[in-house]
């Protein structure tokens, strides 16, 4: 019998952060924004539902501007808002990283196992996120330890690129820094904007939505599963075919990557 094994050209795994590595929005970023608003004398308070709508815009500074222009009655927009936003955002970042230091936000199921397996198998790792670099550092340090910062060859984040997701900039940047072609990588995302960004950058994408993103559409994704899972914590397939796999490991990633 002749077997025909397709050689995978997969070289690197590129991870989104918020929603993908950890469910950071409702009990992390949102709380930090609200705490920062108080210190600036703003009566803004983003409840869970409102914040879900605000997530249509990626990036915390951009999200504040979106709220002010689209959610507040005109007369209530602070006159010096454009000057205030970077200041509020800086304070918000410090509240958020303080919160992460308490261990309040764990990694999602399967993330740590998959990162370790990928490293053992020699895959190159990168991050592509709209969040602020300090937030990535804080999440990695407080969940995986300081040494994990060195696991990622590139941490592409926040304002390092001109346009945030759904633009492709952050993925283009990561690919350029690694000198890799999109087809040599696979991306991990949780949201519609993230999936659009990675897919339009030409990268096959695995989507693991969270509460806020579960009703998004994920056109073009390689597969959509409710979480990465563990041997004793199977995922549910939301879109696509897992071909018998029950948790996301390197063998499943290679299968998805080599699929037409």
Work out whether the CA dihedral 137, 138, 140, 145 comes out positive or negative: positive
Which lies closer to ligand XBP via its Cβ, residue 58 or residue 245? Answer: 58
- Which two structure tokens, joined as six digits, stand for 231? 């041997």
Determine if residue 149 is left, alpha or beta; phi over 0 gives left, psi from -120 to 50 gives alpha, anything else beta: alpha
Which lies closer to Mg ion via its Cβ, residue 18 or residue 172? Answer: 18
Told to judge if 215 belongs to the known catalytic residues of this protein, a careful annotator would answer no
d(CA 217, CA 118): 28
Q: How far is the CB of 36 from Mg ion (least distance, A)?
A: 21
Q: Which of 12, 15, 19, 197 binds Mg ion (CB under 5 A)?
A: 19
Q: How far is the CB of 74 from Mg ion (least distance, A)?
A: 31
Range in contact with Mg ion (rule: CB under 5 A) among 60-68, 114-122, 133-141, 184-192? 184-192
Told to judge if 18 belongs to the known catalytic residues of this protein, a careful annotator would answer yes
Neighbouring CB atoms inside 10 A of 99's CB total 20
Which lies closer to ligand XBP via its Cβ, residue 182 or residue 194? Answer: 194
Residue 107 DSSP code: B
Cα distances (Å, whole numbers) of residue 61 to 13, 74, 91, 102, 258? 28, 19, 12, 24, 38
Residue 117 DSSP code: H
Q: How far is the CB of 214 from ligand XBP (least distance, A)?
A: 14
Interface positions with ligand XBP (CB under 6 A) = 16-19, 25, 29, 58-60, 93, 129-132, 135, 158, 165, 191, 193-194
Q: Which of 18, 23, 169, 172 is catalytic?
A: 18
Q: At what angle do helices 81-101 and 60-70 cross, to 10 degrees?
A: 130
Range in contact with Mg ion (rule: CB under 5 A) among 75-83, 151-159, 187-195, 244-252? 187-195
- Can residue 158 be called a binding residue for Mg ion (CB under 5 A)? no
d(CA 36, CA 225): 34
- Taking CB within 5 to 8 Å according to partner kind, which of ligand XBP, Mg ion, none is near residue 129? ligand XBP
- Can residue 25 be called a binding residue for Mg ion (CB under 5 A)? no
- Taking CB within 5 to 8 Å according to partner kind, which of ligand XBP, Mg ion, none is near residue 142? none
Which lies closer to Mg ion via its Cβ, residue 29 or residue 42? Answer: 29
Which H or E run includes 118? Answer: helix 111-120
- Can residue 209 be called a binding residue for Mg ion (CB under 5 A)? no
- Taking CB within 5 to 8 Å according to partner kind, which of ligand XBP, Mg ion, none is near residue 135? ligand XBP
CB 198 within 8 A of CB 205: yes
Question: Which residues, in sequence order, are CB contacts of 200 under 8 Å at separation 6+?
Answer: 166, 168
| Residues identified as active-site | 16, 18
Q: Which residues bind Mg ion (CB under 5 A)?
A: 16, 18-19, 190-191, 194
């Amino acid at each position: 019998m002749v077997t025909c094994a397709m050689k995978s050209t997969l070289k690197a795994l590129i991870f989104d952060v918020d929603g993908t590595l950890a469910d950071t929005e409702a009990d992390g970023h949102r709380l930090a924004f609200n705490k920062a608003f108080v210190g600036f004398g703003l009566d803004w308070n983003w409840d869970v539902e409102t914040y879900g709508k605000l997530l249509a815009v990626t990036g915390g500074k951009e999200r504040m501007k979106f709220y002010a222009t689209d959610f507040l009655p005109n007369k209530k927009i602070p006159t010096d808002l454009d000057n205030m936003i970077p200041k509020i955002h800086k304070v918000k970042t410090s509240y958020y990283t303080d919160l992460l230091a308490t261990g309040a936000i764990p990694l999602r199921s399967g993330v740590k196992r998959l990162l370790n397996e990928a490293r053992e198998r020699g895959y190159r790792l990168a991050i592509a996120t709209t969040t602020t670099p300090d937030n990535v550092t804080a999440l990695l340090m407080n969940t995986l330890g300081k040494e994990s910062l060195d696991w990622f060859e590139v941490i592409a984040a926040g304002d390092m690129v001109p346009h945030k997701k759904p633009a492709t900039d952050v993925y283009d940047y990561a690919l350029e820094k690694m000198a890799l072609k999109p087809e040599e990588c696979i991306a991990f995302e949780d949201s519609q904007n993230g999936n659009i960004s990675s897919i339009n950058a030409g990268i096959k994408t695995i989507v693991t939505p969270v509460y806020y993103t579960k009703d998004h559409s994920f056109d073009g994704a390689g597969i959509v599963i409710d979480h990465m899972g563990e041997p004793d914590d199977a995922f549910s397939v939301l879109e696509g075919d897992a071909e018998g796999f029950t948790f996301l490991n390197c063998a499943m990633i290679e299968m998805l990557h080599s699929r037409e």
